């Protein structure tokens, strides 16, 4: 069996675009619009500032919509984070409330030898002069 190597096809040379290609397509478009003699070159040239203005307005509109979508995403992200932080705050607050109960505090300090006082609180009265009495 003879096997022949087939030669690779020669690469085709790439055609370069003519420098005036874009202008030619623009001219074709203007000619197409001029089929009914409704649009003339002077009208197009005169309307160019308005066309550029509309283009800028369209670009600003697109940019604004992207900015608004991005802002909405950020707001949603911050709202989710806020919900998480609220739930953590509520759980921390309830844990603090439980730990600060008198019975819990007494239970926590019992290992170091502190006990709850069973005597009633006493009022201390200090006499500073004959007419005045100061209470602390």
Average pLDDT of the residues in 58-85: 98
Q: What percent of the chain has pLDDT over 90?
A: 43
Residue 18 has pLDDT above 60, yes or no: no
Are 58 and 72 in contact by the 8 Å Cβ rule? The answer is no
pLDDT of 40: 73
Are 75 and 69 in contact by the 8 Å Cβ rule? The answer is no
Average pLDDT over the chain reads 83
For the chain, give every domain's residue range.
Answer: 48-110
Band of residue 112 on the pLDDT scale cut at 50, 70, 90: very high
Tokens of 65: 């919509």
Taking the C-alpha atoms of residue 130 and residue 97, their distance in angstroms, rounded to an integer, is: 46
Q: pLDDT tens-digit profile of 58-71?
A: 999 999 999 999 99
State whether residue 12 is helix, strand or coil: coil
0.75 exceeded by pTM: no
Band of residue 118 on the pLDDT scale cut at 50, 70, 90: confident
């Amino acid at each position: 069996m003879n096997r022949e190597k087939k030669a690779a096809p020669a690469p085709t040379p790439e055609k370069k675009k003519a420098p005036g290609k874009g202008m030619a397509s623009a001219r074709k478009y203007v000619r197409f619009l001029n089929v009914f003699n409704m649009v003339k070159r002077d009208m197009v040239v005169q309307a160019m500032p308005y066309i550029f203005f509309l283009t800028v307005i369209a670009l600003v509109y697109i940019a604004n919509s992207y900015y608004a979508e991005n802002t909405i995403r950020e707001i949603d992200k911050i709202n989710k984070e806020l919900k998480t932080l609220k739930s953590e705050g509520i759980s921390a607050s309830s844990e603090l409330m439980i730990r600060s109960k008198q019975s819990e505090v007494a239970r926590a300090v019992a290992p170091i030898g502190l006990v709850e006082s069973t005597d009633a609180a006493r009022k201390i009265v200090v006499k500073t002069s004959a007419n005045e009495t100061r209470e602390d």
